Structure 1
């Protein structure tokens, strides 16, 4: 009977051990999760770290449900701030899945270090070193381009669709400018003398006088012969 009792006790102890094993092997509360640096355009469901960002947020995964977190970011190297100077800080309460994210944020270009503290942590805070690096956007040049060296600047017409007027044209629009001939110049058969009388008219008058004189002289001679 004693042997059976001892055997029964051993079986009971083994059964108790197997029943308690899942509890013994379960992950204890504490440092179960991880935190990532994410670019603002990265989905918060992605569990990857991006050590070089411009606009970014902090993304937590796998922590205990409703765990409270306090975080801060310090200047680390390669910027105008003193190393160890806190530049950002905040707090979060994680959801039932141990997940949460911060709002988007930016920092001046340089290197920084995140410190992530939470309830039930075992040891030092979780941390991440990352770099803020934003590309400069050069403004587009304004104003009209200058004329090419050696070229004359173009003259735009004052009215759309019209050619620019010549400074020498003084007559009404659409008419050719008139020119006055100088004394002694010829313009076909309409040449003028210094007093303005046409040369052609003077020649005709002289020819007429010669003809009249010749006619009168002929009549006079006939009268003498008769």
Structure 2
């Protein structure tokens, strides 16, 4: 009967011995969390780390509830003017699930190191190194030749009045007006007057008739002279 209790005691002692290493290697409260560098466009529920950022924030996961955190960011080689020189710092209180995030922030382009100290830490502070590079994200300024408003085209800014076309009622220069289209005077040509019927009959037609009559009389005289000459010859022959 005494053997059974003794055996139970030995078994319990052996079990406790097996559990001791597990408890010894378990992380103490407060040191179980992690912190990430997040690009400003990365969701805070994602546990990824963004080592190259422009605008960014710090995002913590898995810490104890309501833990107080003090953090700082220092300059780090190879771009640091002075290694460990403070660049930015702040504090935050995590929520009931040990989660929290800072406000978005920016730093001059370079290499930095985050040092994350929290209440109740038993080991070292959490660390992260990262780069900031905003040069590629800077919008290019417009060239001097680019205008903010479109210049109106000639057709939009001013309408060209149509050239007046001469109408039928406008006066056109004639020979009797005495002026040319540019206003200079020109000699006028008298318009022909009415025909003189009397002049036509007594003038050029009369002269033409007289010449015809003269020619006719001369022809008759020649014919008469010829006839007389022929008659004389016949008379001498008889």
TM-score by length of 1: 0.63
Greater mean alpha carbon deviation, residues 102-111 or residues 49-58: 102-111
- Work out whether 1:143 is the aligned partner of 2:147: yes
- CA–CA distance in 2 between the matches of 1:124 and 1:192? 116
Q: Residue in 2 aligned with 1:198?
A: 189
- Unmatched 5+ stretches in structure 1: 146-153, 166-172, 182-186, 219-226
Q: Residue in 2 aligned with 1:124?
A: 124
Q: CA RMSD in A?
A: 4.1
Size of the aligned set, in residue pairs, is 190
Secondary structure of 1:10's counterpart equals: helix
Q: Residue in 2 aligned with 1:107?
A: 107
- CA–CA distance in 1 between the matches of 2:30 and 2:157? 81
Q: Residue in 1 aligned with 2:220?
A: none
Contact 1:66 1:98 in 2 (8 A): yes
What is the 5 A alignment of 1:35-184?
Answer: 35-77=35-77, 82-134=82-134, 135-141=137-143, 142-143=146-147, 155-156=154-155, 159-160=158-159, 163-164=160-161, 174-176=164-166
Greater per-residue helix proportion: 2
- CA–CA distance in 1 between the matches of 2:106 and 2:177? 91
Contact 1:155 1:164 in 2 (8 A): no
Secondary structure of 2:10's counterpart equals: helix
Contact 2:93 2:100 in 1 (8 A): yes
Secondary structure of 1:70's counterpart equals: strand
- CA–CA distance in 2 between the matches of 1:33 and 1:54? 25
List per-residue Cα deviations over 1:30-81 (Å, max 9, x = no partner): 4211110001111111111000111111011112222211001112256686
- CA–CA distance in 2 between the matches of 1:106 and 1:133? 10
Contact 1:156 1:164 in 2 (8 A): no
What is the 5 A alignment of 1:25-40?
Answer: 26-40=26-40
Contact 1:157 1:164 in 2 (8 A): no
- Unmatched 5+ stretches in structure 2: 180-184, 205-238
